[in-house]
Amino acid sequence: MTRGNVSLTAFLWSVIAFLVIYPLSVLVIESFKIAGSTGWGLANYLGFFKDTYYLKTFWNTLVLSTLVLLTTTLFGVPLAYILARYRHRGKTVFTALILLPIVLPAFAGVFAFIIFFGKFGTLNLILMESGLIKAPINFIYGTHGLVFIQSLHLLPFIVLSLSAGFTNIDPAFEEAAEVEGASGFWRFITVTLPLCTPSYLAGAVIVFLWPFTDWLTPLILGKVDFLPSVAYINIAYHFTDMHRKYMGIVAVVVSSVVCIVLFVLARRWVERKKYTGLSKGTTSEGRVIEPGPVIKYGSYLYMLAISFVVLLIPIVLGLSAFSRRWVFEPFPTYWTLDNFRAIFFESPLLIKNSFLFSGIALVFGVVFGLMAAYVIVRTRIWGTNALDFVITLMLAFPGMAVGVSYMLAFWKDIPLATHWIIMPLALFARRLPYFLRMAHSSYLQLDISLEEASEVSGVGKFKTFFYISLPLLIKGVLVGVVMFFIMAFQEISTAIFLYRGGWETLPIGIYLNWHRGMEFGIAAAMAFLMIVITFILLLIISRIGGGIMKAAWGPGPGGKR
Amino acid sequence: MAFIEIKNLLKRYGKVVAVNHIDLEVKQGEMLTLLGPSGCGKTTTLRCIAGLEKPEDGDIVIDGRSMLAEGFVQPSDRGIGMVFQNYAVWPHMKVFNNVAYGLKFQKIPKRTIRERSLQVLEMVGLGGLEDRYPGQLSGGQQQRVALARALVRNPKVLLLDEPLSNLDAKLREKMRFEIKSLVRRMGMTAVYVTHDQAEAMVISDRIVVMDSGNVVQIGTAQDIYQTPANRFVADFIGAMNFISGEVLTAAPETDSTYVKTEFNETLLCKTPAGMLLRQGDRVFASIRPEDVEIFSERPEEKSENLIKGTIAHKAYLGNFLFFFVTVNGHTIRVQVAHYIPLEEGADIYISLNPQKCMVLV
């Protein structure tokens, strides 16, 4: 408990206090202000919960969350089981494809599916041309489309956590059930699934919370009666209408509270419920079954179908990106590089901003994350666990809450929002857990005696960190570095509130191009570009799949190394 | 003059006292072993010497220099070498770099570093493996790398924390002697931690038996085996029969005591030096299995400490024979070095040699 460690912890806390606690408390305080006066009170909250419209949005969001969770679970359980248990060819490719939506920006999927499933989208046009239908079918606009798009985006979280659960079950538990006479489906229901509940819950809570934070998908699909979308519209479009502004702020606070409470409860529950057997663990592969031909081809078909839908996103965006005037025809006919020329030559600023802001955020994130991981894992200073907790909470915080709170907090008293540095700072604060969780779990796996051995060899603490700890941490930390960058690169919910002319990033560019009704092709090309960049980053670290769950949940149920 | 002095050392983890105000001295060139069950405080004591733990009270003096009294001396400044239980060989460095690591941060010419490292590697029997990565070595070889790394800077003190516990039995026995002769040859002062009594007996000049943070007994292997200080030491080191009873006659002028045992026999026992006994004290008449003799017929020449019993179980272990003898419902273990044709269920006599039977509390 040296003085150096104490002042390091104090420094980390002051960063968190300035960039997380202060702005978020400003947000909460703002929500208690009474419009048009200097008074305080619960008026905004009372107004919010008395207004049937806002109550309805709250209810709608809950329903949407439930529907998305049900859908992902229904499709995810068999998928996770197939991936975890069956021996089949192309396992790696299928896994990669099914997990792809995690790293794709959520809005990329929306645009792709509008093009493909829209009223006069590819599918409808094909069906009409073949004479199967007379009028276009509404595949996508409405709650069903929303559930579909969000479910596809979130399916990987369920699949990842469940398949980790399936893999980590000691085969002896299931074998014992079979010896006792419970085989097949009955065994699955009575032993396998219950043993997986902690893993399942870890993924399920992420899925359930998503509709409380995703404002963009409903907005694009024209179905805005959900908490985050209403909050966005009220704050971004009706800032001058005091009542609507405060209703928006209350909506942000309410969804944040829902997210934080559910997230914390789920974590508590997962921690407590982690089943421990006397087993010495299992092989890294877990239990593998050789399925019969029917099940085998059935599962191939199933995986192919889901992979196809996932692949639609980059394919459709690619088609749209390399073409123009793709309207009322199932596939584009006019091919061009114009969209990319527009991006690279007319507005290269967006690309530059994206890399600059994400890069600066990354540098902050890595330096901060390494220091934080060190004090959390290696010291017993008072307050380090709370530090870990606060940072982890940022995983659950809606991006919009960060954006709005920064807008409120760094405007008058601390006018940071007038300088572009606010962009990387906000990205840093929002995406911090992605790197920290990785650094944390790598540090936990770094045997302390490796560091001690260096110290007794006559080498001081500081040099020990650079010659022993850092080289040994690098591998695990690298995954966190790339994850952090990807997540910062595609961030929009926070940035949309903070950007000013000249600070636009690629995601904001995509949104603006759609929103201003400008060329759809440019938006698609930007999204395609982001997918390509993400893909290149993913190639750098191939094992990203387990990575993101690990980022979210530490070394716990996300998977065992 | 002691080379390492531990004075009144106290280390707590929260409310748990790991090391309870102990005093210890290690002589120059001595190999001292801290022996005890897990949680007895032996590793904590070692880590306090290394500077990896900060004790709450007391002082540690190494070669005349206080490690605590005049400000905490960092582990890197203590001039020690340490071998860790899990070797702690750095996986990202070649064997050579592992060993040379500590030297590289001193102002030593490169050539000297190379010569010295290779020399030590040769000494531990790893000559020619300097370009391997630890992952390419067996457990035994990694252990030797750890040893070479600890020795390379010619430390004043070598600390070894259960260095052999991760090796298989055969290799462990071999390494005991190797470590002992290596440390002797280098004339180093060494503190060795183990929970394995045989290892402690082979390797050390003196053994410190610890229990729940306290030092229970200090002595040579022979002292500790033959005259254990109490029941804990006797039980932890070797096997011992404990027959509870009470003191019948205490004769302070002689070193003998009569003990009335729980199975109504009177046994003549030796009183350990310095133990004061009164009539009626609850004690254990204690004897090692190999000091019990077994007879199929009542032997004429023995009269003291002869007890009638029945063989409950017998076990043949090659180099000796083990009998579990039941006396009035209590079991006494007997170990004989030669084969005796006695079967389970046979009625026999056992003789508890009065010279070897001792009173313990």
pLDDT: which is higher, A283 or B268: B268
Residues B285, B293: Cα–Cα separation, whole Å: 16
Beta carbons of B74 and A467 less than 8 Å apart: no
Taking CA atoms, what residue in A is nearest to B150?
A457
Span B136-152, average pLDDT: 92
Give the model confidence (pLDDT) of A472-519 as tens digits.
888 778 878 888 898 899 899 999 999 988 899 999 988 888 877 666
pLDDT in the model for residue A320: 87
pLDDT beneath 70, residues of chain A:
1, 274-286, 517-519, 540-561
Chain A residues near residue B97 by CB distance under 8 angstroms: none
Give the model confidence (pLDDT) of A147-180 as tens digits.
999 999 999 989 988 888 888 777 777 777 777 7
Q: Looking at the predicted structure, is the pLDDT value of residue B31 above 70?
A: yes
Query: CB within 8 A of B337, min separation 6: which ones?
Result: B290, B319, B320, B321
Beta carbons of B74 and A457 less than 8 Å apart: no
Closest in B51, B88, B150 to A449, CB measured: B88
Q: Say whether residue A381 is in contact with chain B using an 8 A CB cutoff.
A: no
The fraction of chain B above a pLDDT of 90, given in percent, is 58
Instruction: Tell me the count of A-B CB pairs closer than 8 A.
Output: 69
What's chain B's Rg over C-alpha atoms? 25
ipTM of predicted assembly, 2 dp: 0.81
Query: CB within 8 A of A436, min separation 6: which ones?
Result: A365, A368, A369, A372, A373, A388, A391, A392, A480
Residues A399, A491: Cα–Cα separation, whole Å: 8
Closest in B76, B89, B106 to A455, CB measured: B76
Beta carbons of A453 and B84 less than 8 Å apart: yes
Q: Say whether residue B113 is in contact with chain A using an 8 A CB cutoff.
A: no
Beta carbons of A459 and B105 less than 8 Å apart: yes
Span B11-31, average pLDDT: 93
pLDDT in the model for residue A477: 83
Distance from CA of A390 to the nearest CA of B (A): 26
A104-128 b/e (C-beta count within 10 Å ≥ 16 → b): bbbbbbbbbbbbbbbeebbbbbeeb
Taking CA atoms, what residue in B is nearest to A1?
B54
Taking CA atoms, what residue in B is nearest to A471?
B92
Q: Say whether residue A178 is in contact with chain B using an 8 A CB cutoff.
A: no
Beta carbons of A458 and B77 less than 8 Å apart: yes
Closest in B54, B75, B105 to A456, CB measured: B75
What is the maximum span of chain B, computed from C-alpha positions, in angstroms?
79
Q: Say whether residue A447 is in contact with chain B using an 8 A CB cutoff.
A: yes
Is the Cβ–Cβ distance between A164 and A244 less than 8 Å?
no
Q: Say whether residue A462 is in contact with chain B using an 8 A CB cutoff.
A: no
- pTM recorded for the entire structure: 0.79
Beta carbons of A449 and B149 less than 8 Å apart: no
Is the Cβ–Cβ distance between B256 and B338 less than 8 Å?
no
